[in-house]
Chain A
């Protein structure tokens, strides 16, 4: 498969997101793995890095899970292609900036990705739309075990899988959920939630990871510690924390609609109006408006079937996707025009909000 074919074919996040999950948009697990007796990517010479990449990519691409997928060195991708992969949460920003010697293997359905020579030799990742830790863990565990047949991983009985950074030592696991938490944001409780989650040893980040903002009220919550507990325990703890956050979010929603339904409906109604009629929308504003529509769907203001559309637009409103759809390179203002035009045409098809069903 070629990169442009992959970009244009249906993907896990943009096309299967028929999720009934009101709060969790996506579940993702990654494992950090390294080859035994080889320098980590950050310390390896270019020639060593290339040899490691060839060995890893060959082993990964041969896996049945990666059949008819894409296996490609990072340096052969242009900036826009890389940006699109980042926006789909398939690769990290760090990998985009990687110099020669890094690679990517992506499965056909874009749910399994292996980054080669990012911070570690291998970053194996599986993602699924919705709240599905069990399924994602089973998939990635099998993928890792299959890979183990062909590659000797750096492992110590005491310290577990050895990673370039000691913060990933042991299991090398990072499990995360992407959550839509508009009511906690609107009611000003998000800061409190972030603090509590941090206290429990978990991290909260914005949509695009470290340092990104929380536009669209979307947050990624993940474990931070990787050593001293098994993968299952780590996932179980995270799962527990996420369930509590879901409960908090749903409570906050109930409170919003009880105390001041007009204020809430006004926000949702205006969002719909702007999406139907706006002519200049930057990605942050588009995300925030889409977030309100999604909240509206959860309240029954719009049809339940529209949730998949909103989830897809969350990704397709990002700058890389907007430019790809318009087949060119555009400056930010031109992108805002293109984005608004796409949203106008999508929202022209939507039936108008029905607030009576939500008020009950």
Chain B
């Protein structure tokens, strides 16, 4: 047979071809008889393509075989467990992730709570590191007025982070 479409869930020849419009996007699914039955495709009211798409998207074609540089997790590991290895994996496997998110969630961008305190702490620490470098440079090149200004600013930032125990470091 010329038509050799394979079932999206197992790899038997597909005989059921279904098109559904979800959120004004067209989704197509090809299934074999057994999977179609098991997924209730024959019962139109009870069938949700989104569910199927979710499962199908968890078994994507490999995109590169590199490991996550932070934790060594591979795409095969993800395929096996459906979980990532560390927070950095999200950046590393973004190409794999993006198409999945669309079928998995209502959107692909976060619009909820932001850890304000942790983020401002992070940016304060980054500022602190920067100021310390500038202070070092100012002292080395004997720009003492600048150095005094940097030192004052460092004291201010340290107060803002509320970590007094580090102030004497």
Contacts and interface: CB of A to CB of B under 8 A. Distances in A.
Given A34-B87, A40-B86, A228-B111, A152 B118 contact: yes
A225 B101 CA distance: 10
Considering residues A161, A170, A195, A198, which has the most beta carbons from chain B within 10 angstroms of its beta carbon?
Answer: A170
Considering residues A156, A160, A228, which has the most beta carbons from chain B within 10 angstroms of its beta carbon?
Answer: A228
Q: Tell me what chain B mostly uses at the interface: helix, strand, loop, or mixed.
A: loop
Interface in B60-107: 70-71, 73, 77, 81-88, 90-91, 97, 100-101, 104-107
A228 B106 contact: yes
A201 B106 CA distance: 9
A158 B85 CA distance: 19
Contacts of B101: 166, 169, 227
Interface in A143-197: 144-145, 148-149, 151-162, 164-167, 169-171, 173, 195
Given A38-B86, A39-B86, A171 B109 contact: no
B115 A162 contact: no
Contacts of B73: 43
Contacts of B50: 201
Contacts of A243: none
Contact of A227 (B46, B107, B114, B115): B107
A55 interface: no
A231 interface: yes
A148 B81 contact: no
Given A43-B71, A155-B118, A225-B105, A160 B112 contact: yes
Interface residues of A, number: 46
A159 B110 contact: yes
B25 interface: no
A34 B86 CA distance: 9
A162 B115 CA distance: 12
Contact of A164 (B48, B84, B106, B112): B84
B27 interface: no
Given A37-B88, A43-B71, A164 B105 contact: no
B19 interface: no
Nearest to B111: A230
Interface string B37-63: 000000001101011000000000000
A119 interface: yes
Considering residues A34, A43, A230, which has the most beta carbons from chain B within 10 angstroms of its beta carbon?
Answer: A43
A154 B108 CA distance: 17
Given A166-B101, A195-B46, A198-B51, A158 B110 contact: yes
A228 B118 contact: no
Given A40-B86, A160-B112, A166 B70 contact: no
Contacts of A230: 111-113
Contacts of B90: 156, 159, 162, 169
B112 A39 contact: no
A1 to B, nearest CB: 29
Contacts of B81: 42
Contacts of B97: 166
A226 interface: yes
A228 B114 contact: no
B109 A166 contact: no
6 tightest A-B CB contacts, nearest first: A228-B107, A160-B110, A154-B87, A228-B106, A227-B105, A43-B85
Given A152-B118, A159-B110, A169-B101, 14 more contacts: A43-B73, A141-B113, A148-B116, A151-B118, A153-B115, A156-B87, A160-B112, A162-B87, A166-B100, A166-B104, A195-B45, A225-B105, A231-B112, A234-B112
Interface of B: 45-46, 48, 50-51, 70-71, 73, 77, 81-88, 90-91, 97, 100-101, 104-119, 121-122
Interface of A: 34, 36-40, 42-43, 119, 141, 144-145, 148-149, 151-162, 164-167, 169-171, 173, 195, 198-199, 201, 225-231, 234
